[in-house]
Amino acid sequence: MSEGARRSELKKSLQWSLITPRFSRLTEDKRWGLGQSIGFAQMLKSKNLSKSKVDWRHAPDISERVARLISLVSIDWVDPDRIYCFRSTGSRARAIARIWGLQKVWQQALDTSPAYCLEVLSESFDNLSPEKQDEVLLHEIAHIPKTFSGALLPHTMHGKGSFHSKLGQLITLYKKRV
């Protein structure tokens, strides 16, 4: 079988349409040689490139804690009834918790008011002490802007009203009142 026929057969068997055109051109290069192309393509085919299955479940215990923390540190701009809490398992992320905002375009499309989803990653979050868990929840709540618009505040804000100074104030207030 000629090299051209072998390449053609290889492309059909590995469904090259799923691999980027750039990679396809790269393997066509004579410097790479057929053997190296086949080895890399076989490695791509054998790897399980699908994402792991993440399971999200409502977390009423986290919702209660968030509501308690909001009232404890007097975060009056946050509506605890519009924060939906979930506990996830199966994620490979390094995070302990995440917050997701319902952006303005989705609010308009769904004809709803601003809301947030707070996700705790069970593998990381559940191993923390209750005080550290509360600090993590306060960290996520600190991402909610005073406008409660569905947007999120980034970590990179600088100056007097920076994210980290705001978080520090919330944690200090929490420790005083607990």
Tens of each residue's pLDDT in the chain, 178 residues: 677 776 666 555 554 444 444 444 444 445 445 544 455 555 445 555 455 699 999 999 999 999 999 999 999 999 999 999 999 999 999 999 999 999 999 999 999 999 999 999 999 999 999 999 999 999 999 999 999 999 999 988 776 678 888 899 999 999 999 8
Q: Which domains does the chain have, with CATH numbers?
A: 3-46 (no CATH), 55-177 (3.30.2010)
- How many Å apart are CA 106 and CA 146, to the nearest integer? 20
Nearest 5°: phi and psi at 118?
-110, 120
- How many Å apart are CA 168 and CA 166, to the nearest integer? 5
- How many Å apart are CA 106 and CA 104, to the nearest integer? 5
Decide: helix, strand or coil at residue 21.
Answer: helix
Q: What integer pLDDT is reported at residue 178 of this predicted model?
A: 86
- How many Å apart are CA 27 and CA 132, to the nearest integer? 50
Place of tokens 């069970």: 122
Measured in Å, how far apart are the chain's first and last C-alpha atoms?
77
Rg (CA), the chain: 24
| Beta carbons of 89 and 55 less than 8 angstroms apart | yes
Mark residue 140 as left, alpha or beta (left: phi above 0; alpha: psi -120 to 50; beta: remaining): alpha
Beta bridge partners of 117: 84, 100
- How many Å apart are CA 8 and CA 40, to the nearest integer? 16
Q: How far is CA 116 from the centre of its chain?
A: 14
